[in-house]
Homo-oligomer: A and B are copies of this chain.
């Protein structure tokens, strides 16, 4: 590494300043770029999970349905809390959007205080992976049940319901798509943090 001369005022002897003391401009710039990409990805994660959550909780639909043993049709509503799988999905989205908000703020503060990056990025990387596991499993759970609502299952006599509650099913499908996108963002963040400390 090239070093520059630095004549000592008392002895006059020149002491070489190691180049590593002055950070090369390129690594400071790439650090900033990394942080910005991280922040943008986390903001995207927050918007995707929050939107998926709002769509889920506003998905309920009421239809006049002819119930067995009842003479006239009665209003029957379909809501996310009719199914434990959808309840698990909504809870996972609440946790994920809250985590996305907090991690965005942490990432912004690391931009302002780079000296804390080494410690905090370990926690962020680990929590990204935990959130990936939770959101992927919750998306799978809701997806499995939503598929039955869409197609039914003749083998076991479970009828489809999306032919009646079309809005309910459209909202759930939208929320599942957003949640799948959020899971992919978490996967990118996890792999990104694993790579960023090795290259």
Whether A149 is near chain B, meaning CB under 8 Å from some CB there, is yes
Closest B residue to A67 using CB positions: B157
Partner of A140, one of B122, B139, B190, B191: B139
Whether A112 is near chain B, meaning CB under 8 Å from some CB there, is no
- Within the assembled complex, what's the spacing in Å between the Cα atoms of A145 and B121? 37
Closest B residue to A145 using CB positions: B144
Chain B residues with Cβ under 8 A from A149's Cβ? 156
Whether A1 is near chain B, meaning CB under 8 Å from some CB there, is no
| CB<8 Å pairs between A and B, sample of 19 | A78-B156, A85-B144, A88-B144, A122-B194, A122-B195, A125-B191, A132-B132, A132-B136, A133-B183, A133-B187, A134-B136, A136-B136, A137-B140, A142-B144, A143-B144, A144-B145, A190-B194, A194-B194, A194-B197
**New A-B contacts (5) at CB < 8 Å, excluding given A122-B195, A125-B194, A126-B195:** A129-B191, A130-B187, A148-B158, A194-B194, A197-B198
A residues bordering B, Cβ < 8 Å? 78, 82-85, 88, 118, 121-122, 125-126, 129-130, 132-134, 136-145, 147-149, 151, 153, 155-159, 161, 183, 187, 190-191, 193-195, 197-198
